[in-house]
Each structure stands twice: as structure tokens, then as C-alpha cells.
Amino acid sequence: MSSDRLDVRKTYKLLINGAFPRSESGRTYEVIAANGAFLGNVARASRKDLREAVVAARAAQPKWQAATAYNRGQVLYRMAEMIESRRDEFAFHVAQSEQHNDRDAQLIVSAAIDRVVWYAGWTDKIAQVLGGTNPVAGPFFNFSIPTPTGVIGVIAPQESSLLGFVSCVAPPLAAGNAVVVVSSTTRPIPSLLLGEVTATADVPGGVLNILSGEVAELGPVLAQHEDVDGVDLTGAGDLAPTLAADASGSIKRVFRATTADHDWAVDPGTRRLRAFVETSTVWHTVGQ
């Protein structure tokens, strides 16, 4: 940083419906690294912002579901391309947020890119792996297809600001869900940067909505919102049991991470893909 010039500091904003608003409440908070360094100002989303995000997600979801799986794969792959093209910037912010050295941060960014690519490749395989035909004992053609659950609320992991974040967000997106995600409260910047990246990755507005703020404030609203069909409580910590109870009000699908799930380096398998798909089974008569 050159000392003879005052740097321009960016306030990170929310991503709602493809736009980057400040919080309607006007609130921001300072992100401070574990070593005390000031990392930036970010918007602090309100309940109302979250409500707006859910409305946007609900509106965007049918189109995202109706897009071809091939197309969804391309969009996710484009997201990976965009991260790759700005990997140094991501690495810088991951290093700052998570207090890694540059080499480790680069490895994390690589893993995050590869994770997104992995899920990009899943979009047109989910139906084949999770669906199929069922040999019922009668004159019927019967098949099961996985369909997206709908609008998914994600409480992103608090520690893993980029790799953990994409590992939670990409699978529901790959399956055709729209996502409203509450970023890591203390490490939101890599995810907000990712939000900016999506603006140039052809992710349709409303499909991915990213809010920075307090889990204690936003989590219950998300978990209780009847128009949210499922919640991923990976980053909810001690609040997870309460939020899971809140989710029962509208019989939401709830994903609770185990300790093993927080090891972001390992092969994630299909668990997160299966978490937010519904099996829809169609019977049709077979006759002349």
C-alpha cells in the first residue's frame, strides 16, 4: 500500500435478487481479523433484507429449476472460472479472514474452485444417480426423479469462509434450488466477493442471495419463514437445535452437519446433494 495515497475502502454489500444493496436498515459492521486487523465494513442484513431475499429466491427458483441441467452446469462452471480468474484476490481475503499464509490460502482457493467444478459436473447427473425407473408389479411405467426442494436457507460455516461456503451453497444450487445464505458473521468477505463474482457468472438474479450479518438475528427468521423449504444449519453452532426446532413449524428439511462434515478437504460425497432434493415418482399406465 502506497503511503502517499489514501486508499479507497470498499464497503461490502449484500446480494439480493442480482443486485447489491446496502442493508435497508442502513447498518454496517466492521470485520476484524483474529489478529485485530481491520478487514472491511460490511452491510449488516436485517430481517427485512432476509425477507426480500426469500421473495427473490422464491420468484427465481422455478426458472432455475426449469433451466436445463446442462445450463445449470455451465453457470456453476462459469462461477469456478470467475473465481480462478480472480484467485489472488480470493486468496488474499481468505488469508486475511482465516489467518492463513498465502500458500495455504491459495490451496484453499484451489479446493474451492475444484469443489464448484465438482458440483457443476453434478447438475446433469443427479437425476441419473438419484432417480430411475421402478419395476412395479403392474401395467405401469413408473419413474422417480429428484426435484429441487425449492428455496433453501443456508447458515454458512463460520470458519471456512470460502471453501466451506461454496461446499454448502453449490450443491443445492446444482440441484436446482434457490439459496438464501447467511455468510460467516466474522469472516464474510470472501463470500461477499463470491457474490460479486456471480454477477458476471450468469447466475440468474435471485437464485443466490448472500447476506452478511448475525446468525442470532437472521437464523430464526430464516428457519421460521414458511416460504423457505429447507435449511442447512452447518454454521449455526449452538443455535442449531433451536433453529431446527423453528424449522419444524413448516416441516422444513433440515441439514445438520456432523463433526466430519466440517472437514472441508474430504470428498463430500452426495450427502449435501441429497439433502435438498425431493423424490417425485410418476406412474403412467401402459397399454394400447
Partner 1 sequence: MSELQHQTWSRLNDLEYAPAPESRDIVSIRPNYGLFIDGQFTDPGSHQGFQTINPATEAPLATVALGSAADVSRAVISARRAYDQVWSQMPGKERAKYLFRIARLIQERSRELAVVETLDNGKPIRESRDVDVPLAAAHFFYYAGWADKLEHAGFGAQPRPLGVAGQIIPWNFPLLMAAWKLAPALAAGNTCVLKPAETTPLSALILAEILQQAEIPPGVVNIVTGDGSTGAALVSHPGVDKIAFTGSTEIGRRIQRELAPSGTHVTLELGGKGANIIFEDAPLDQAIEGIIDGIFFNQGHVCCAGSRLLVQESIADEVQRRLVRRIEQLRVGDPMDKNTDVGAINSAEQLSRIHELVDAGVAEGASRYSTTCTLPDKGFWFAPTVFTEVSQTHRIAREEIFGPVLSVLTFRTPEEAVAKANNTTYGLACGVWSEKGSRTLWVAERLRAGVIWSNTYNKFDPTSPFGGVRESGFGREGGRHGLEAYLNV
Partner 2 sequence: MVSLPLRSQHAPEIGGADITFAPPARPSLLGSEAELRVALGGLSGVDAVGANARVAALGTRSLKQGTKRALLDLAISMIDLTTLEGMDTPGKVRSLCTKALRPDPSDPSVPHVAAVCVYPDLVEMARNFLGDAPVAVASVATAFPSGRASLNVKLADVREAVAAGANEIDMVIDRGAFLTGKLGLVYDEIVAVKEACGSAHLKVILETGELVTLDNVRRASWLSMLAGADFIKTSTGKVPVAATPPVVLVMLEAVRDFAEETGVVVGVKAAGGIRSAKDALKYLVLVNETAGSAWLTPDLYRFGASSLLNDLLMQRAKQRDGHYVRSDRFSGD
126 binds partner 1 (CB under 8 A): no
Cα separation, 151 vs 142, in Å, equals 27
Query: Which of 89, 220, 244, 262 forms a contact with partner 1 (CB under 8 A)?
Result: 244
Q: How does DSSP assign 274-287, residue by residue?
A: HHTEEEEEEEEE--
Beta bridge partners of 11: 41
- Closest to partner 1 by CB, 28 vs 242, is 242
101 binds partner 2 (CB under 8 A): no
For residue 273, the minimal CB distance to partner 1 (Å) is 12
Judged by CB under 8 A, which stretch of 29-37, 164-172, 191-199, 234-242 contacts partner 1? 234-242
Cα separation, 251 vs 57, in Å, equals 19
Cα separation, 181 vs 240, in Å, equals 15
Q: Which of residues 134-153 bind partner 2 (CB under 8 A)?
A: 139-140
134 binds partner 1 (CB under 8 A): yes
Cell of 185: 458473521
Of the candidates 196, 207, 201, 168, the residue with the CA atom closest to the CA atom of residue 66:
207
245 binds partner 1 (CB under 8 A): yes
Beta bridge partners of 155: 182
* Interface ranges with partner 1 (CB under 8 A): 129-130, 132, 134-138, 140, 142, 144, 149, 226, 229, 240-242, 244-245, 247-251, 253-254, 256, 269, 271, 274, 278-285
Q: Which residues bind partner 2 (CB under 8 A)?
A: 139-140, 285-288
